[in-house]
Structure formats: structure tokens, C-alpha cells
A and B are shown apart, each in its own frame.
Chain A
Amino acid sequence: MGIFKHLLDKRLLTLVSFLLIAACLSGCAERDRQKPEVLVWHWMTDRDPAFEELTERYKNQTGVKVKFELYAPSDAYSQKVIAAAQAGTLPDIFSILGERRIFASFIIAGHITCLTSQMNADNNAWRNELFSNALAVNEFSTANQYGVKAGIYGVPLDTMNIQLLYNKDLFKKAGLDPDLPPVSWQEFIEAGRALTAAGIPGLVSGWGEIWMIDCFASNLAWNLMGKDKIIATIKGEVPYTDPDWITVLSLFKEMADTGMLAKGMITMVNKDAEQAFANNRAAFAFNGSWCVNVYRGMNPNLNYATMMFPRLSDEHPVVIWGGAGASFMVNQRSNNKEKAIEFLKWITAKQQQVYLAQTTNNLPSNKDSLSAIAPSLRQFADDMDKTVHPSLLPAGEHPLVIEAFDKGIQSIIIGESSPREIAERVQRVKDRERR
């Protein structure tokens, strides 16, 4: 027992001393000596160094100290913002992740300042600088379903869209013309057949993340039935068992039947799908504008280009999913509202937007800074006017319906359910949630 007593005493000593140090250190927890005048919370890890540089420049130009605090990954960030909203400790500027209803709740709860008057000042000076598609995501129209007072509530920091890309080398290998990507849906499927025959996986995308499936289906639906019918469906006037919706679901079955979908893509996260496309393991990718950066990092020699989403019907325009990338909101209860708004004006001005676009390779939200961006990114930027976003619709679909729809598409692709069965299942969820 003596041995243990000795050991324990020594350990007890360390324990006690550590606890003492703990008490000490926590008592004098580090405080910033100079409190920032504008505090920003964000989750964009890859943009953090660029933000640091910009705050430095801003301080030199105006003397105002801005501080960016990073909370990542996005789940942790969302939790922090939600908890801080309840405790009343939100910073001067923050951004919101998640669907439009959450955005609306933040506004109704009085956490977000309306920026319409600033946007419209001096003949819409600020407003005209920014892409209208990106701004629309932050705007609530009159008589919106959420009961929010009409106005603009956020400033887009950058924009994004999701496109189809194709690998030119693999196109050549399969005997397809690398300069003439498919234009119609039929050609797209034919290309898929040719690729499958050549033993090349066709399309890869991170469809384990169901929102990526939703983007693809959304493009198809807008082109096939147009905006009004989609709105009518969300309002409950058109059922999901409508022939048009069943056609949308059947198109996924058509792709699966040709064997052009990369194996396992329905359970892949998007980063895995990017890994496959970057290493020439699939001929098509359905991916967002951020991918330029990803592919360049993984394989600078990747020979690829964007293509327009294949056309299904001439009745309605072909659209692509997109809008604002990240947006910033100003805290309604902040004591430094004016300074915060001034800073947001500055960071969305041309010079700063060019800097951000060049260092982080995101599409700028400022229209005038387009000329300064890299050509590979340019292809994405050129299609910004064709983007649509669910936020543009006057009503939003219930999340459970969206989940049933997207997960249903996974089931169709593995041949477990037919498009009709899924349409009926989605409609059942819709009926249940409407009650």
C-alpha cells in the first residue's frame, strides 16, 4: 500500500496544482484590449485570411476597427447564431444558414435591420452595384407568406450557381465531340449511352447531400412546367402526381437506366464526387461555381468546360440553380448599426470584390468587378442571369416534402421504387403537412 500512497500523493499534488493554474488562468481569461467597433461572425473558413487582410485595409482607410470571428463547420456556426439570438448576444454583423423561413423568423424576432433605404439612397446607388438575382434572395416582397414587412434584409457578399460540367478528354475517348456538348436532354442521354458503352462513368455529383438532387430536379421542373405551375404545386393546387412531376421523376430513371450515373453517387458527399471528377473518373459533373478552385487544386490539367443545362422543352426557358452565395445581415439591436452598414457598403464595392474574387475564387456580388476574374470562373459568371432560387418564389415548400421528394429520387435511381410510387408518397407527405 505504501507504493500507492506515494504514487497517489504525487498525483494528488499535480492534480491540485493543475486545478490552481486552471482557476488562475480562467480568472484572467484573455480580453481584447481594443474592443472592435464592428464585430462580424462567419463560417467561411476559406475566406478567413482574405477577411483579415480587408479589415486591415479598412482600418487604415477609415480608422474603424472591424473584427471577423470564424466559427466552423457550418453546423457549429448555426448553433452559435441560434443560441446567441436567444441570449441577445448576436454580433453587429452575421449571416444566416438555412432556409427562408429561418431568415423570416430572425427578421420577425427583431434581429435584422431592414436595409432598403440604404440600398435605395442616391438613386439606388448601392442596389445597382449588385447582381439583382443575388439581392433577390435577401428580399421579401409585399404580402409574402411569412408575414415579413417588405424590404431588403441582407447584403450578398458573393454569388454562386450550380452547373453541368463535362470532361473534354473523356469525351474524346468515347468518340464524342469535345467542343459540342449535348444541348437537348435527348443528346445528353445519348452522350451518356456512348460513355457507358466506352466504359466511362457518365455523371457524378454529391447526391448523398439531398439538396444537390433538389437543384437538378428544380432545373428540370422549371424548364418542363415553368414557374407558375411550380408555385401552384407548392400552394397545393397541383398535386405531385401530376404527369409533369412524374415526368421529372422519370428523367432520373432514364439516366439510371442508361447506366450513365457514376456508381454510388447517390450516397456520396459532394467532396467525394469532386474527387472523382477531378481525377478523370467521370465525364459529367453537376457542381457549384466553387468547384473551379477545387479542381485546380486537385488536378490543374483537368480539361473541362461548363455546358448549359440540357433543354427538355421549348415552352419554358432553361434555368440554372443559383443566387447569393453568402449574405451578411446587420443586427437590429447593434449599437454600431451605421458603422456596420458602412462597412458592408465598402466590402461590396468594386475594389474589395475584385480582391475577394481573386483570392478566394468565388463569384463576386458586384457586377462591375466581373471583368477582373479568372476565365475559368468567368464561364459561371456569364450565366448568372439565368439563375433561379427557391427564395424567389412567393411560397416555400415544406422541408419534409422536399426530403421525401429528394430521397424518393434516390430510391428511383437504385430501382427500388417507380416514379409514380414516389410521386404518390410525396403527395401523401404534402397532404399530411398541409393539415
Chain B
Amino acid sequence: MKPTDRSQVKFKPGILQNYLFILPAVLIFSVFYIYPFAKTFQLSLCQWDGIMPTTVFVGFANFKNVIFRNTAYWWQSMGNAGYITLIALTLQNLLALALAMACDRAIKSGNFYRVIFFIPPVLSEVVVGLVWKWIYNGDYGLLNYWLSQIGLSGLTRTWLADPKIALTAVAITHSWKGFGWGFIILLAGLQTIPRQLYEAARVDGANAWEIFKRITAPLMVPVFALVSILTVLGTMQAFVLVISMTGGGPGYHTEVPVTRILASMIASSRFGYACAQGIVFGLVLLVVSMLQMRIGKYAKTD
């Protein structure tokens, strides 16, 4: 708290000082991100198998192939990831919000729940994969067992090998594993709402829904936007569960962009092509996130 600062005076030294705040981040970022990024972009314009000392410049041919030729179900994999994301955005986030609100209202043993809901994000994918594959198994799976116990044996099936269900099954597991993060962030957001506002509204005779609509929702818009962007990014880029649960099958029904990129890079060793896929994928995410931020800002000013 040295009073030597002259920040009120708006001239250059103050602005230079502002740059100091972002300097460490920009420094690390330039070395560890910008350089690999530039290299990746350079490779995306080349044909290269990852090993040869020389690369062949092919211009935007890789991009053209990724976008227009749709090799190996690229856009379908994007659609699959979009579908999982849609389920995560609705199911996972609604669950997270409901749980966060329940815990925010000083419910007894709230602490207990707060720890429990954090278990799925912490658990290793290995464990989650093994348990959920057991649940979904067609011959001795828990889900089929429960269904036949309650007289719904007509619904039993091999969940992960059914082309119509497999993607939804993976999406549900993903949402179950991920809702804890939304829960934590939303709870942190809810905690920043001053309690007096709720009390004042209650005195005015507002019911729970009105309180949510008039107080909670408007104040939470930025946090909702944050959670939804993080959900989109986290879900679109998820692939470990897919590999361990279905390997992208049956056929191409559960392939997602990242598994496609890995297949290009490792199985068919087309590095340049994989880099182009990565950049196209990133641009799609960027556009979606920008839209989300716009919607968030619009909702805020509304």
C-alpha cells in the first residue's frame, strides 16, 4: 500500500504498468503456445507423415479436404460431439443448477453433498469406464437387470452396441462425470448473491419461482454463460470416455472430432491433415463460443 502510485493521472507510465499485469501470462504463452501454434499452422499447409525430414507444401489442400471432402466421417463426428454437447448443456447443467440451488439454501448436511458431488469429476476415467461398461453390458449389465426386475425386460438391450442408443449412453456417462464442475462453479456464483436480496423478496411475498426469476437468474447470467461455454469446450473436446467405452463404434456412430484427429495422426500418420482438422475444429468452437458470449451479453442487458 505504497502511496507512490500515480495511476489517477492518465498518461503513458500508467498504461505501461497495466501491461505489466499481463506480461507473465503473455511471456509463457508466447513460448509454449504461439510457437507450437505457428508450427501447427505451418504443418497444416503441408503433407507430412510426422517422421520424414522434409515436408511437402500443398497450400490449403488439407483444409479443402477437411471441409469439403468430408473424409472419414469428419462432419458426422462433429455432429456426434454436438449431440453429446446438447445433452450436457441441458441435462448436465440443469442437474448441476438444481443441486447447486438445493445446497445453496443452507440445507442441513449441505457440506456432505458438496463433497459427494465432486466424486465423479475426481474419479479416474479408467474406473468410470469400467463401472459404466458394466452397467450398460448386454449380457450381465446392471441396467438390463434393473429393467427386467421392474418388469420392463422389453427395453433391455446392448446399450453400447446399439447404433441408436450408443451415443446417448456415452453422453449420459459424460454428463454424469461432468456435472460436478458445473455444480461447483454455479454454487460459487450463487454464493456471491447477497442474502438480503432474498429476504427482501420474501418479505414482499414472492414465491420460490419468482425469486429465481427476479433475483437469481439475472444475477447469474454471467455465470450461466461461463458454465455453458466451459461445458461446450469440455464436451466437444472430450474423447477419453469415448475411446474406452465404444472405441468410436459401432461403425462411426460415436466418433467425435478428437478421435478423428487422433486417427489421422496416429493410425494413418497424416500430420498435416490432422493439424488442419484441429484448426477447423477450433474455429468451429470459436464461433460457437462467440455466439454464446453474445447471447450472454444480450441477456445481461435485457
Measured CB to CB, the residues of A under 8 A from B are 75, 78, 82, 85, 98-99, 101-102, 105-106, 108-111, 201, 208-210, 262-267, 269, 272, 276, 281, 398-400, 403-404, 407-408, 410-411, 413-414, 416-417, 432
Contacts and interface: CB of A to CB of B under 8 A. Distances in A.
Given A82-B51, A108-B52, A269 B139 contact: no
A106 B133 CA distance: 39
Contacts, number: 99
Contact of A267 (B51, B140, B247, B267): B247
Given A78-B266, A109-B53, A264 B138 contact: yes
Given A106-B51, A269-B244, 7 more contacts: A75-B266, A201-B139, A208-B249, A210-B249, A264-B159, A267-B247, A398-B268
B249 A399 contact: no
B237 interface: no
B251 A410 contact: yes
Given A75-B266, A201-B139, A410 B250 contact: yes
B251 A105 contact: no
B270 to A, nearest CB: 8
B51 A109 contact: yes
A414 B72 CA distance: 20
Nearest to B250: A410
Interface residues on B, range: 35 or more
A273 to B, nearest CB: 11
Contacts of A102: 49-51, 269
Q: Does more than half of chain A's interface fall in helix, strand or loop, or is it mixed?
A: helix
B158 A408 contact: no
Contacts of B140: 281
Given A78-B266, A281-B139, A414-B162, A267 B250 contact: yes
By Cβ-Cβ distance, the 4 closest A-B pairs, closest first, are A263-B138, A399-B268, A208-B247, A105-B51
A206 to B, nearest CB: 9
A398 B264 CA distance: 12
B187 interface: no
B212 interface: no
A275 to B, nearest CB: 9
Contact of B51 (A85, A201, A262, A263): A85
Contacts of B263: 403
A399 B49 CA distance: 13
Interface of B: 49-53, 69, 71-72, 133, 136-140, 158-163, 166, 244-247, 249-252, 254, 263, 266-269
B266 A407 contact: no
Contacts of B136: 264
A414 B163 contact: yes
A141 B250 CA distance: 38
B160 A264 contact: yes
12 contacts: A75-B266, A102-B50, A109-B53, A208-B246, A208-B247, A264-B160, A265-B161, A276-B139, A399-B268, A407-B251, A410-B249, A416-B163
Contacts of B244: 269
Contacts of A267: 160-161, 166, 245-247, 249-250, 254
Contacts of A82: 50-51
Interface core residue of B51, B158, B166, B245 (most chain A CB under 10 Å): B51
Given A98-B269, A267-B160, A210 B247 contact: yes
A201 B246 CA distance: 20
A109 B263 CA distance: 23
Given A98-B266, A272-B133, A414-B162, A266 B49 contact: no
